[in-house]
Each structure stands twice: as C-alpha cells, then as structure tokens.
C-alpha cells in the first residue's frame, strides 16, 4: 500500500513539475513577446506565482518521493537510470535556480515599466533571452527524466560496471 501511495505521489509530482514548467514557460514566453508592457507585467507576476505555488513544492518533494519509492521497491539508488535521472535533475535545477531569479527580475522590471508607462529596457530583454535559453536544457532534462522513469532501461555497460566483481570501487 505504501509503495502505491509513493508511486502515485511521485507520478503526480512529475506531472505537476513537468506540466507547470512547460505551462509557465509557454505562458511567459508568449506574454513577454507581447508589445504591451502591462501584459508583460501581469504575465511575469503570474509566472512567479505559479512557480512558487506549484513548481517549488514539486521540486522539493520529487527527490524525496523518488528515494522513498526506490527503497520501498528494493531498487538500488545506483541503478543506471536512477543515477542518470538524478544527474539530469541536478542539471535542470542548475538551470531553474537562475530562471527563478530572472523571473523575479523580469517581474520587477516589467512592473516598473508598466507603472511609468514606458517600454521595457535592455535589462529586461537580456533577462528574457537568458530565461528563454536556460529553459531548453531544463526542458530536455525533464523530458529525459520522464522517459527514464517510464522505461527504467537497463544499459549493458552500466549493468556490467555494477556487477563487476573485480572492480571493488564499484561494489
């Protein structure tokens, strides 16, 4: 029963994390392409809010439910697909943390421009470009993680290293 609860919590967390990430990225991208600075300000406020309400809790809970589920099911945390998932999660997080800062900056800059009735400045446009490009490795990483979770592939090289009796450093 516990493993089923953990499995569903982990799957739901993955859906929320991937879905909210993709949804806020699309929403933020399209909204920030709008020439109306008021739209930019509103969109950036919503993207920041969605990240705090949905993405942040999922980011925190996903590795917790993953480790607990693996232990409950008797999976080794050194299985190739788990290690690769963890590495990709770290990569996505390394992209996401600056994205959070950029979103806060874009919200502040677009809100100031909207209050003052002017267009956004070069700082905003630079932050938006960086935000956009940092989203791609995070998106590809999260897509790969979902694939790894769904397929749990056993790669011959990884299995050989794990089962190597002569390689004491891997034991």
Interval 69-120: pLDDT, tens: 999 999 999 999 999 999 999 999 999 999 999 999 999 999 999 999 999 9
In this predicted structure, what is the pLDDT of residue 53?
A: 96
How many residues make up the chain in this entry? 171
Predicted confidence band of residue 146 (pLDDT cuts 50, 70, 90): very high
Residue 110 pLDDT: 98
Query: Cα dihedral sign for 37, 43, 46, 50?
Result: negative
pLDDT at 165: 53
- Cα–Cα distance, 142 to 149 (Å, whole number): 10
Residue 159 has pLDDT above 90, yes or no: no
Q: In this predicted model, what pLDDT tens digit does every residue of 22-63 receive, in sequence order?
A: 999 999 999 999 999 999 999 999 999 999 999 999 999 999
Half-sphere exposure of 95 (CA within 13 A, CB side): 20
The enclosing H or E element of 136 equals helix 122-151
* Host domain of residue 49: 2-170
> What is the C-alpha separation between 164 and 159, in angstroms, rounded?
8
Output the CA angle 10-90-31, nearest 5 degrees: 80
Give the other-Cβ count within 10 Å of 159's Cβ: 12
Q: 10 Å Cβ neighbour count for 130?
A: 16
Structural domains counted in the chain:
1
Determine contact, residues 100/51, Cβ cutoff 8 Å. yes
User: Binning pLDDT at 50, 70 and 90, where does residue 3 land?
Assistant: confident
97 to 38, 51, 81, 103: CA distances (angstroms): 26, 11, 24, 10
- Whether pLDDT at 161 is above 90: no
Residues 95 and 25: their CA atoms lie apart, in Å, by 13
CB 43 within 8 A of CB 32: yes
């Amino acid at each position: 029963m516990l493993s089923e609860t953990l499995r569903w919590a982990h799957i739901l967390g993955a859906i929320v994390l991937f879905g909210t990430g993709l949804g806020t990225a699309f929403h933020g991208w399209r909204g920030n392409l709008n020439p109306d600075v008021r739209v930019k300000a509103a969109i950036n406020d919503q993207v920041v809010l969605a990240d705090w309400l949905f993405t942040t809790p999922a980011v925190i809970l996903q590795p917790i439910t993953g480790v607990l589920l693996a232990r409950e099911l008797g999976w080794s945390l050194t299985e190739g697909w788990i290690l690769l998932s963890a590495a990709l999660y770290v990569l996505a997080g390394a992209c996401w943390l600056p994205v959070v800062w950029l979103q806060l900056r874009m919200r502040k800059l677009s809100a100031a421009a909207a209050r003052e009735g002017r267009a956004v400045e070069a700082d905003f446009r630079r932050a938006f470009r960086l935000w956009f490009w940092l989203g791609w490795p995070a998106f590809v990483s999260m897509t790969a993680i979902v694939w790894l979770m769904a397929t749990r592939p056993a790669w011959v090289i990884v299995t050989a290293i794990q089962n190597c009796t002569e390689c004491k450093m891997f034991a």
